[in-house]
Amino acid sequence: MIIAMDGPAGSGKTTIAKKLAEKLGLDYLDTGATYRTLTLKALRDGVSVNDEKALSELALKLNINFDGTRVLLDGEDVTDAIRMPEINNNISPVVAHPGVRKAMVNLQREIAQKGDYVVEGRDITTVVFPNAEHKFYMDAKFEIRFKRRWMEIETKGMNITKEELTASMRKRDIADTTREVGALKIADDAYYFDTSDFNIDQVIEKLSQLIKRNG
C-alpha cells in the first residue's frame, strides 16, 4: 500500500507523514530527502547545480539508504547536514532538471516497492505514485508555515535570519509550483487538508479515519 502526500514547505507534511506511518505500522519515505542528499553530494563533489547532465549521472550512482528516519549517504548519517541553509539555497535548480527528476523518481519507486509506505514530497500524488491507494495534499497559511519552520531552525540552532527564511521559503514556493517537470500541484483525486488550525494529533486522527473509511 502507498499513502502519497504532497504539500509546500512548512505545511506539516513531514511530521504528519512520519507519525501517520508510525500509527499505521508502515514505512516512511521522505522523497525530498533524496533530492537534498543529491544536492549535498553535488556540492561535496564540486558538481554544478546547473549542470543537468552531470547531476543526472550523479543521481544514477547515488548511494543513499534509510535507517528509519535517518538518511545515509555513502554510509554516513547526513540527516542533519541535508537540512542546512546551504542545501536550501542550492536545491531549487537541482530538482528542476528533468533528467535528475527521472532518475530520482525511479529511485523512489524502487525504494517503495520493498514494502508499504507513507511517501511525502512535492509530486508524489501526481508523478511518482499517481495510482497510490490514498492521496493527500497538506497545506497551511504562509505565516503558519513560516512559524513552524522558524521553530525548527531555532531548535537546530541554524544561523539564518527571519528575513532570509522568508525569502528562501517564497523562492522555494515559486520554484516548486512553476517548474516544468514535477511541479507541486493538487491532484484531482487528492484530499486537500489545510492544517493551519489543527495540531498534529488532530490531523493524524482525521487522516487515519479517512484511510480506514476508504479501505
H or E segment and range at residue 105: helix 98-112
Interatomic CA distance for residues 151 and 144, integer angstroms: 11
**In CATH, what class is 2-196?**
alpha beta
Pull the grid cell for residue 43.
556540492
The residue among 142, 169, 7 whose CA lies nearest residue 85 is: 169
Give residue 152's pLDDT: 85
Give residue 88's pLDDT: 86
145-150 long-range CB contacts below 8 Å, 24 or more apart? 145/8, 145/9, 145/10, 145/11, 145/169, 146/10, 147/10, 148/10, 148/12, 149/9, 149/10
pLDDT, tens digit, for every residue of 130-186?
Answer: 999 999 999 999 999 999 989 988 887 778 899 999 998 998 899 889 888 888 999
Helix and strand element counts for the chain (H, E): 9, 8
Q: With contact defined as beta carbons under 8 Å apart, do 118 and 20 qualify?
A: yes
Mean pLDDT of 88-93: 90
| pLDDT surpassing 90 at residue 215 | no
Domain locations along the chain: 2-196
| pLDDT surpassing 70 at residue 4 | yes
